[in-house]
Structure 1
Amino acid sequence: MSLRNYLDKIRPNFDEGGKLHAFKSVFDGFDSFLYVSSETSRSGVSIHDAIDSKRIMSLVVLALVPAMLFGMYNIGYQNAAAAGKLAEASCWGMFLYGLLALLPNILVSYIVGLGIEFAWAQWKGEEIQEGYLVSGILIPLIIPVTTPLWTLVLAVAFAVIFTKEIFGGTGMNIFNVALAARAFLFFSYPSRMTGDSIWVARDSIFGLGYTLPDGFTMATPLGQIGQGVTVNASLQDMITGLIPGSVGETSVIAIAIGAVILLWTDIASWKTMLSVFLGGTVMGLVFQSSGATPIPWYEHLVLGGFCFGAVFMATDPVTSARTETGKWFYGFFVGAMAIIIRVLNPGYPEGMMLAILFGNMFAPLIDYCVVQSNISKRAKRAK
């Protein structure tokens, strides 16, 4: 008997009146995750499209795979480089070490996040939604690999409950869920998210990798800028991603592959994505011409989480501006704000996280202003 036939056979137990009706939301969530929803419209529908939220989430996860795979390799690369063993370390060994180092973070993120979503849906008697499929992989990619698992549990729980579920679930949240988790870690446990001692995995795992001495530190390029130290990474290193940083944010090439997937499938808005880079470019040129930043404007665009945020975070269709004109204003605001925070706040050299969260907060206002402006223009033309 196939799995499809088996699920159809036991479905009556979960329907109304069945002995397992209390767990209907869990069964429906599992069934729709593996296949498609069994519910269909009784009347004609206005939209005929094969895409649904599950397929959208799956495509976003697919777009994240290049950044995740390179991040795994870079974890092992940075560990070997810190130990002075790059010459004898193999590419496969470094990748496998990174996989083992990152896997616990991914598992904890999904187990805690999906567990809360299942429990919440069961408590409310609602359908389980697939929205956390993307957030579950985003969170491990935007934090240091050395983040303690217990803090990750708290961050995921906070983000899912207070950023998403209390606002109504998938599609109703004001702030990006993954960035809310990172913000929770940043403000609650700053020593785990900033400094020079958190970016490189230090311990050997099952005989792979190297154990680094206590007190070992390695700053990111943005950290070096914040300290007034000359950046020792080349532009090539910044683009390829062989630098310390959050797991998925270092490789511009891997992120660009993900951007192509998102744009080709029409999931992300090219207007939002492009305007983020335009805002960052303009503000980078302003600060470079005034001598306020020690690096060229284009290095700001490839360092830290700027590219990753522009491609995967700022383009979130739920928390970003939705009007076509508003997307330009929203993206430009995010890109410009990220560089402003970097340059004017030496204590926080990243900037992209706060910039996008600020953008999320102002996105409804931007859309409102755009809509009201269009209404006013049409009213004037009608007179």
Structure 2
Amino acid sequence: MREFYKKTFQKQAVMRKVIMSLIPIIVGSIYFFGWRTLVLMATITLFGVATEYFFEKRLNKKVTEAVFVTCILFTLTLPVSTPLWVGIIGIVFGITFAKEVFGGFGFNVFNPALAARTFIYVTFPEPLTISWNVASSGFPGGFGKYITPAVDAISQGSPLIHFGETNTMLPFKQLFLGNATGSLGETSGLLILIGAFILLRHKSADWRLMLAPVIGFLTFSSILYLSNVSGAQHPLFSLFSGGFLFLSVFMTTDPVTAPKTKEGKWIYGVLTGIITTIIRVFGLFVEGAMFAVLIMNIFVPIIDEAVKYIKTPRKKEVSA
């Protein structure tokens, strides 16, 4: 088995550290929503690896361990009750059209996990916007269940949907700890911050790419909130609701799709936070973070080139 793994997969130490940082969130997801978390994750991983293997085998290349990270991240952006076939379609689409068509790992423009999530979000909206499950609390929580009960009203959905329907905010403590309805890995601010600490401790992510989106998000959210703009939420409530914090830690820090220049990372991150706020407050979609990251993925090469151009010293023209 070990020899087969060595022949099939390309070892990537950084990706293994990312997986390590995701372990607390995976365990938390099981606690909050039950063991179906692992069933969904295993199914998506199986088909994600098979998809990349199909493309790489034809080129006599190995499957990258980055595919495991993509599959785990994609799973954690989904509700626990997501039909397995929807998850399969999503990951096959993400690996194929956001990674392999660009030439595989290192050449992709878009984050494959986010591309997969966005595709099924607009194609199969019901499982991702209506079908939610109650988050467990107390012991043993979801460890004693296959899946937690489904909620029976849309107003009992994710914190952002709950706010949109009732104009009331869930307690901050509930949002921070994670026992709130939502996607698997996005409910607990505490576990996401623990994951961020592990990433930074092992130098597996750039702190600028984590901090810049939060700065842009909180700054613009505060401006709109203090200006009493309709639909603007309290900045801290908005930060710990939905997937923005999760994406700031694990998606914007993707070394392939993020800028390489220091200044570019700040621009990229701040604009991601601002665009997320704009979509949430003025757009039709409750969650804007995934769209914001994909939009900014498009502009990464331009941002880096612009930064390099501005920083490159130019000789003064000498008049004849």
Report the TM-score, using the length of structure 1 for normalisation: 0.76
The equivalences for 1:280-319 within 5 A come to 280-292=217-229, 293=231, 295-319=233-257
Rounded Cα–Cα distance in structure 1 between residues aligned with 2:64 and 2:317? 44
Check conservation: 1:66, 1:254, Cα contact below 8 A: yes
Rounded Cα–Cα distance in structure 2 between residues aligned with 1:62 and 1:74? 19
For CA contacts below 8 A with separation 6 or more, give which structure has more relative contact order: 2
Instruction: Report how far residue 240 of structure 1 moved.
Output: 0.9
What per-residue deviation string (whole Å, max 9, x for no partner) do you get for residues 252-301 of structure 1?
11111111111122221111111111100111111112212453212211
Check conservation: 1:61, 1:134, Cα contact below 8 A: yes
**Pairing 1:351–2:285 present:** no
Residue from 182, 185, 202 that aligns with 1:265: 202
Residue from 99, 120, 128 that aligns with 2:55: 120
Report the TM-score, using the length of structure 2 for normalisation: 0.90
Check conservation: 2:79, 2:128, Cα contact below 8 A: yes
The equivalences for 1:155-234 within 5 A come to 155-195=90-130, 197-200=131-134, 208=145, 212=149, 215=152, 217=154, 218-231=156-169, 233-234=170-171
**Pairing 1:31–2:6 present:** yes
What per-residue deviation string (whole Å, max 9, x for no partner) do you get for residues 12-49 of structure 1?
xxxxxxxxxxxxxxx5xx21678xx7xxxxxxxxxxxx
Rounded Cα–Cα distance in structure 2 between residues aligned with 1:213 and 1:275? 36
**Pairing 1:252–2:189 present:** yes
Residue from 236, 242, 246 that aligns with 2:179: 242
Which residue identity does 1:358 align to in structure 2? I
The equivalences for 1:8-157 within 5 A come to 27=4, 30-31=5-6, 54-75=12-33, 98=34, 100-157=35-92
More off after superposition, 181-190 vs 220-229:
220-229
Check conservation: 2:199, 2:205, Cα contact below 8 A: yes
Bigger Rg over Cα: 1
Rounded Cα–Cα distance in structure 1 between residues aligned with 2:124 and 2:91? 14
Root-mean-square deviation (Å): 2.5
More off after superposition, 54-63 vs 115-124:
115-124
* Structure 2 unaligned regions, length at least 5: 136-141
- Matched length: 311
Rounded Cα–Cα distance in structure 2 between residues aligned with 1:230 and 1:249? 20
Which residue identity does 1:71 align to in structure 2? S
More off after superposition, 325-334 vs 356-365:
356-365
Which residue identity does 2:77 align to in structure 1? I
Rounded Cα–Cα distance in structure 2 between residues aligned with 1:274 and 1:380? 36
Check conservation: 2:132, 2:158, Cα contact below 8 A: no
SS in 2 for 1:227: helix
Instruction: Report how far residue 229 of structure 1 moved.
Output: 2.8
SS in 1 for 2:157: coil
Which residue identity does 2:243 align to in structure 1? G
Check conservation: 1:239, 1:251, Cα contact below 8 A: yes
Q: Aligned in 2, Cα 1:269/1:287: closer, same or farther, shift over 3 Å?
A: same
Instruction: Report how far residue 68 of structure 1 moved.
Output: 1.4
Rounded Cα–Cα distance in structure 2 between residues aligned with 1:343 and 1:302? 16
Instruction: Report how far residue 227 of structure 1 moved.
Output: 2.4
Which residue identity does 2:132 align to in structure 1? I
Check conservation: 2:259, 2:301, Cα contact below 8 A: yes
Q: Aligned in 2, Cα 1:223/1:120: closer, same or farther, shift over 3 Å?
A: same
Check conservation: 2:279, 2:288, Cα contact below 8 A: yes
Rounded Cα–Cα distance in structure 1 between residues aligned with 2:163 and 2:114? 23
Rounded Cα–Cα distance in structure 2 between residues aligned with 1:246 and 1:214? 13
Check conservation: 1:33, 1:54, Cα contact below 8 A: no
Identity among equivalent pairs (%): 35
SS in 1 for 2:208: helix
What per-residue deviation string (whole Å, max 9, x for no partner) do you get for residues 180-236 of structure 1?
1101111111112113x33448xxx998468858955522110022225322x2011
Look up the match of 2:302: 365
Rounded Cα–Cα distance in structure 2 between residues aligned with 1:245 and 1:266? 29
SS in 2 for 1:308: helix
Which residue identity does 1:58 align to in structure 2? R
What per-residue deviation string (whole Å, max 9, x for no partner) do you get for residues 152-177 of structure 1?
11111111111111111111111111
Which residue identity does 1:369 align to in structure 2? A
What per-residue deviation string (whole Å, max 9, x for no partner) do you get for residues 308-357 of structure 1?
01100011011111111100000001111111111112x31111110111
Look up the match of 1:333: 271
More off after superposition, 143-152 vs 220-229:
220-229
